[in-house]
Amino acid sequence: MKLITLDNFKDVSQKVDLELRKINNSNESYLTHITNSRFANGEGKVKLENSIRSEDIYILCDVGNYSISYQMHGKEHMMSPDEHFQDIKRVISATSGRSENITLIMPLLYQSRQHKRKGHESLDCALALQELENLGVDNIITFDAHDPNVSNAIPNLPFENFYPTHIILEEFIKRECIDNLLVVSPDMGAMERSRYYAEMLGCDVGVFYKRRDLSRVVNGKNPIVEHVYMGVDVRGKNIIVVDDMIASGTSMLEVASKLKLMGADKIYFIATFALFTEGIETFKDAYKKGIFTKLYSTNLSYVNAEVNKSKWYVDVDCSTFIAKIINALHHKDSLEELHNGKLEILEKIKEVSN
């Protein structure tokens, strides 16, 4: 078993390596060193520095990491998801069929928001998955895919979509009071995820319907005109607002503001990926105004350093979870327990209640 990590996921991969060594009582690192270099015009190449012959390979990559840069034509150039994905293909190419199996661990699924076609649009996520299959990838591991049904594009390739729900909730239960809770979905699309959180916590669930102006397009989407709430009374409730990712977070903050006006007490945000492509200052202002209490998110994708150090942000470490998944795959064990952590959460809730 060998781990190949790209620079965009190095910190987490090192933690995963340590956890794997603990699990298997090994003194040797599983990490295989690579050289990822660039020509002056921006073209890249990858070279493996260690032998991987007949090994099971696990490639770890964060396509959402926007802190990585390189020099192109003498100027600093920040890497995009497209370039990260290209580096994944370079790593696969560098193995040149020498490995036994190739498993790609891509927590933030590349192009996951472009998972279906409307009109004359590209179908990027499906195309990317098919390209990985053609290159020789044997397994794909991802987390909280925007739409898991995109796996239909590769019906013959194992595609495992894990949810870090129980890992996040364990951290939440450690830190917060779980009495008088209500889970609220910020839109209809996140309802299934929100219901799952509510079932774990044994509480009710509500939802907001986003009414959009279909006659206009702003930043690639129809702007929201109004959030309409459907569910039980929120007065005096501690609310958990759940979504898969935060880009600007505008929608979540609008939902929180509405809930506050409706009489909600504390409001917590939970998101698997805190991308923060914009909107950090808005979040800081909202926290100062008491609109929300905390944001819980994971280290499955890069989080802005300023956000990570904020009082209102809680970083949930998923490295042990990833290590357990890799170990189970390598030893051909069942992944069922890792897919469903409900029993663990119920035990934690019982402990807290007692």
Confidence of residue 155 (pLDDT cuts 50, 70, 90): very high
- Between 51 and 61, residue with greater pLDDT: 61
Instruction: List phi, psi (to 5°) of 197.
Output: -60, -45
Instruction: List phi, psi (to 5°) of 324.
Output: -65, -40
Of 97-101, 109-113, 142-146, 153-157, the range with the lowest mean pLDDT is 97-101
Percent of the chain at pLDDT > 90 equals 59
- Closest CA relative to residue 113, chosen from 274, 213, 9, 247: 247
The two three-digit tokens of residue 317, written as one number: 């470490």
Confidence of residue 268 (pLDDT cuts 50, 70, 90): very high
All domains in the chain, ordered by first residue: 2-162+319-338 (3.40.50.2020), 165-316 (3.40.50.2020)
Percent of the chain at pLDDT > 70 equals 94
Does residue 241 register a pLDDT over 90? yes
**Average pLDDT estimate for 121-130:** 90
Q: 38 burial class (0-12, 13-18, 19+ CB within 10 angstroms)?
A: middle
Alpha carbon of 338 to those of 113, 162, 194, 262: distances in Å? Answer: 25, 8, 19, 38
Does residue 310 register a pLDDT over 90? yes
**Average pLDDT estimate for 328-354:** 74
- Between 14 and 190, residue with greater pLDDT: 14
Q: Give the pLDDT confidence score for residue 340 in this predicted structure.
A: 67
Q: Give the pLDDT confidence score for residue 346 in this predicted structure.
A: 62
Q: What is the pLDDT of residues 66-94, one digit of tens each?
A: 999 989 999 999 999 999 999 999 999 99
Share the mean pLDDT of the chain.
Answer: 89
9 contacts 94 by C-beta, under 8 angstroms: no
The two three-digit tokens of residue 195, written as one number: 């219901």
Q: Give the pLDDT confidence score for residue 21 in this predicted structure.
A: 96
Q: What is the pLDDT of residues 162-176, one digit of tens each?
A: 999 889 999 999 899
Angstrom distance (rounded) from CA 181 to CA 47: 51
